[in-house]
Structure 1
Amino acid sequence: QLGSGSYIAGKNFTLADVVFFPNLAFCFRFGLSYDKYPHLSAYYSLVKERPSVQASWPPHWKESDGAQEVLKDI
């Protein structure tokens, strides 16, 4: 379980986050429920605001939320 303001492997952003976060971002983009997974949602919100993530975010993801419901039932 993630604590408030924590990353996958602890208090610091590590390679574990670099590997895990893009997959999680893809899942939320394709409809994974923020409400069903509040800890993952908080982690997602924390990491997506990092300058390095914002700099590498796909441009079309910034233009629209791309809300799709492929994973809504998971």
Structure 2
Amino acid sequence: MTNEELLDQVVKMLEQQTERIELKIELDVSKKIEALFDGYKLTHEKQWELEKKLAELERRIETLEIKAG
């Protein structure tokens, strides 16, 4: 086997490995990142909702304190 043939085999093996890695990233890692982002988005939306409710409750407490005072 010549050096050129050996080099060609190494290049083909590297291309195959690169393709496998790219597929794994595309199929596995990308899906996990999307799931994490969706979870973050839901958490952020829920936090915003709770902050609005808290602000409303604080306003109502202040109103009651004024009426009671």
TM-score (norm 1): 0.26
Higher relative contact order (CA 8 A, sep 6+): 1
Higher helix residue share:
2
Structure exhibiting the larger radius of gyration computed from Cα positions: 2
TM-score (norm 2): 0.28
